[in-house]
Amino acid sequence: MVRKTLVDYFHRAAVLALVGVTGWGIWLTGAVYVSRIGHTERIPYNSPDRESLTDAVGGPPSPQTSRLVQQWKDLNKQKGEERAEKHI
């Protein structure tokens, strides 16, 4: 019986690695397609129909959260106005 060379072992390892990577890629692609990832509603950021994270969690937000959310909304509004002025 002829002994296998080192190249044969490297070739076998390379083929198994490629098959493994291909298998993981196929599995991951299938997992993404059957999951809800990528299938969310496309609601624009400034739309009134868009639910905020605090609304999505449910329950009344704490006063601190309300203050932070209001500051964030004010900042976004200010930046939006600045961008609109630049485009004019």
pLDDT tens string for the chain (88 positions)?
Answer: 678 898 999 999 999 999 999 999 999 888 877 776 655 667 777 777 776 766 667 767 678 878 888 999 999 999 999 998 887 7
Whether 53 and 81 share a structural domain: yes
Whether 36 and 51 share a structural domain: no
Say what the pLDDT of residue 39 is.
59
Whether 60 and 33 share a structural domain: no
Whether 31 and 63 share a structural domain: no
Say what the pLDDT of residue 37 is.
62
Residue with tokens 């390892």: 13
Range of the domain at 25: 1-40
Q: How many CB atoms lie within 10 A of CB 65?
A: 13
Whether 56 and 87 share a structural domain: yes
Burial class of 54 by CB neighbour count within 10 A (0 to 12, 13 to 18, 19+)? middle
Domain count, the chain: 2
Q: Is 62:69 a contact under the CB 8 Å cutoff? A: no
Whether 51 and 87 share a structural domain: yes
Alpha helices in 35-62 (DSSP H): 53-57
Whether 80 and 61 share a structural domain: yes
Whether 55 and 83 share a structural domain: yes
Say what the pLDDT of residue 50 is.
72
Helix (H, G, I), strand (E, B) or coil at 85: helix
Closest CA to 79 of 48, 87, 54, 47: 87
